[in-house]
Structure 1
Amino acid sequence: MAYQPNAAFAGLFRAFTSDPQSIGAHLTEQMARQAADDPLLVSTGSDIVLFSGTGRAPTIESFRKSTRGFIELTAVSHLPLAIAYLARMRELSPHDDTWQSDSIRLRDHAEATRAANSSAFWRDHVAVDSFAGHEQKIADLVDYTCRVTIDLIERMQNDHSLLSFDRLNDEYFASPPGDALPVPMNDVMFATFGLAFLDIVYRIGNWLRAQSLDWTRLMVLVSGQSGRPTAGATWATNNMCYLVWSASDRVLLPERVLVAPHAPSFSVAELPDAAGLAELERTYRALWLNTRASIDVARDLFPDQRPYGFDPAPADGMPPIKSVDDREATVARLRRIMEDPSQLLSNCVADYIVDQLHKNGNQPQRVEIPGFTNVSYPHMGES
């Protein structure tokens, strides 16, 4: 028979926090009543919701997959990376021709994308403010990336040695800019990541500022899985924390932004009804306040001990980008986000884009993006 704790001890254990009628639950309820009118901001992996308090209907904004341009730019970011994955497949199983059939499908998708791409597509269909004035250059970037990759796929069907990492690094990913390949694909990956995140930072930042929030009272919860299952579980690795803090003009106390990767999530695509949203709000408020309870108690309980000072800066942050031409830093960031399971993939650009937008007075057209601002892509139709 499995071990069972003594009933008296188990009752004492539950009396503190693990029972709906426990002391901890009752303290959280008291805090919830006092903070009923305090705003609560909850961010998931793709959406952000503001619960204004006292039963008012929530306000919701989306980012990532459901927003204009995200899938399009991320697809182009992934195109060079897909070549690297094909190379790894061939390296692991050189006699398995799966990589060849996968590469043909990738080529077909790239050709369809190239056909759909134009400056008018980015201006009139995607039509986001942060890309205004850059539509032709974005179209040129997309066309160039597809054209170069399609050519590589066709050549490597006959010359498999092109798919070795040595050749790919020398001739595709990190090749010195020249007539054959004026922009290396490492630059393309960073540029497309940067463009996609620029729109997220600009739009979400504007949305947050439009809410006229009392940043000193705002409770923030980053909830559920964000990106890879192992990623974004801390303040320093979840870029939404830094984005919200920056949008507050750095007034919001970082300690009021909690990351809860195991908390319930939601998506705009599958929103609950009004009653379900109200229940979600109660759950999120209880989670935030229950966590805050131990912080407040500790400050009163141990007044003579040195207080814990929350520092959101990561111990080993991303390599700083010293200039728009700092290819060493951008490539180091690309390696870091792929090699460090704790990082969101967008972290290769996140802090840089947030800081650039802040530095440039929230004007996205003035943000300098390595791999984009500092390079010229061949115009569509040029070979």
Structure 2
Amino acid sequence: MNYQPDPAFAGLFAAFTSDPASIGAQLTAQMASLAAHDPLIVSTGSDIALFPGSGAAPLFESFRKSTRGFIELTAVSHLPLALAYLARMRELDGAASGDSAWRALAQRLLEHAQQTRRANTLALWRDYVNVASFAGHEQKIVDLVDYTCAVSSAMLEDVLREPDLLTFDTLNARYFAPAEGAGVPIPMNDVMFATFGLAYLDIVFRIGNWLRAQRIDWTRAMALVSGRSGRPTAGVTWASNNICYLLWRASERAMAAERILVAPHAPSFSVTQLPDAAGLAELERGYRSLWLNTRASIDVARQLFPHDPGYCLEPAAADGMPPIVDIRDRRATTARLRRIMEDPAQLLSNCVADYITDQLHANGNDPARVPIPGFTDVDYPRARHA
């Protein structure tokens, strides 16, 4: 016989919270009525929406795959890492030198790198990608991409000829972190950090400007970071989800950090597949209800236990990432790269997020003045077809 709770107890349970007509649901509805005019910001893994309140139509902006330059820069930042993954595949394969899976993948990666090098032109970055935060740096980006594709192609050709070179010892000594005068002149660790930094600079600059242009009342704003962001285990806390820090800094710290909630299991949306007006209104109602339902217990606790120690959220960016005091400090930048790959809770962009966000604010929101390790302090060889 299947167990069923006693009906009287089940009724008491539902009376508080689990029924649409419960006390909890009714309190949330009462709060929603009072907060109907308050702005609500909802961020997903790729897009951000502002629901202004009072039934006004939402506004949307994107900050990842659908934005200019994101795929281009991210593809280049992943190129060195792809070689490391190939080395791991060969290691697991017992260092076999025959027709193993890694060889076919390495050949295909080489072809992609060569095609990207040919497509990488000043016209592409200046006229087609045409990102405001890259203005004035387009030629240097061309040089960075050309260099990355050239040395990666050379390394791939070497390991395809001599498979015994595809080891982590060789890659570190000749490619990722060579000693001065050994291997490539600019370590690939620098390249990875630089490309991450450039991509995130555009996100902070564009999203920050977009948010400020909406003239949001930050003291009343509600914010929700919704759904999956990056890998399934990452970005589920305030400190590990860099959008929280971005929003807080965009408000010039006027928004209470506690009003930015992370809801990894909440519904998501995409600007490429938005519902109709009725569907958007329902989506907004769901988000507001989720935020306010969570807020209800906070407000009740503060009045229920007025003489006991309370919880205070202290905004923390990147959860203890090594500080970057000097952009030439490779120990700090490579430690950050290791941290975001080794810690499942971290978004990959967290290796640069707090640093770029703070630097953009410290430099008057001028992306041209933001020092990026591996880019600002490095002179890349001029691209062959510059």
Q: What secondary structure is seen at the aligned counterpart in 2 of 1:41? A: strand
2:90 alignment partner AA: R
Distance in structure 1 (CA, Å) of the matches to 2:22 and 2:9: 14
Quote the offset at 1:180 in angstroms: 5.0
Q: What secondary structure is seen at the aligned counterpart in 2 of 1:222? A: strand
Quote the offset at 1:2 in angstroms: 2.6
User: For residue 83 of structure 1, what is the aligned residue in structure 2?
Assistant: 83
Q: What secondary structure is seen at the aligned counterpart in 2 of 1:214? A: coil
Quote the offset at 1:309 in angstroms: 1.1
The 5-angstrom pairing of residues 1-383 of structure 1 reads: 1-93=1-93, 94-95=95-96, 97-178=100-181, 181-313=184-316, 316-381=319-384
Quote the offset at 1:316 in angstroms: 4.8
1:163 alignment partner AA: L
Are 1:161 and 1:167, in contact at CA under 8 Å, matched by a contact in 2?
no
1:273 alignment partner AA: D
Quote the offset at 1:348 in angstroms: 0.2
Greater than 6 Å deviation, 4+ residue runs = none
| TM-score (norm: length of structure 1) | 0.98
Cα distance, 1:315–1:150 mapped onto 2, change above 3 Å: closer
| TM-score (norm: length of structure 2) | 0.97
Quote the offset at 1:177 in angstroms: 4.1
Quote the offset at 1:315 in angstroms: 9.4
Quote the offset at 1:195 in angstroms: 0.2
Q: Which runs of 5+ in 1 are unaligned?
A: none
Are 2:239 and 2:319, in contact at CA under 8 Å, matched by a contact in 1?
no
Larger mean CA deviation between 11-20 and 305-314 belongs to 305-314
Give CA deviations for 1:235-277 in whole Å, capped at 9, x if unaligned: 0000000000000111110000000000000001111111111
Are 2:240 and 2:318, in contact at CA under 8 Å, matched by a contact in 1?
no
Distance in structure 1 (CA, Å) of the matches to 2:34 and 2:296: 13
Distance in structure 2 (CA, Å) of the matches to 1:237 and 1:315: 5
Are 1:338 and 1:345, in contact at CA under 8 Å, matched by a contact in 2?
yes
Distance in structure 1 (CA, Å) of the matches to 2:189 and 2:339: 13
1:37 alignment partner AA: H
Distance in structure 1 (CA, Å) of the matches to 2:66 and 2:305: 47
Quote the offset at 1:336 in angstroms: 0.2
2:86 alignment partner AA: L
Cα distance, 1:316–1:362 mapped onto 2, change above 3 Å: closer
1:230 alignment partner AA: T
Q: What secondary structure is seen at the aligned counterpart in 2 of 1:66? A: coil
Quote the offset at 1:312 in angstroms: 2.5
Distance in structure 2 (CA, Å) of the matches to 1:92 and 1:136: 40
Distance in structure 2 (CA, Å) of the matches to 1:52 and 1:74: 32
Matched positions, count: 382
Give CA deviations for 1:6-37 in whole Å, capped at 9, x if unaligned: 11111111110111000000000000000000
Q: Which runs of 5+ in 2 are unaligned?
A: none
Are 1:235 and 1:258, in contact at CA under 8 Å, matched by a contact in 2?
yes
Quote the offset at 1:54 in angstroms: 1.1
Q: What secondary structure is seen at the aligned counterpart in 2 of 1:60? A: strand
Distance in structure 1 (CA, Å) of the matches to 2:162 and 2:358: 44
Q: What secondary structure is seen at the aligned counterpart in 1 of 2:161? A: coil
Distance in structure 2 (CA, Å) of the matches to 1:180 and 1:168: 9
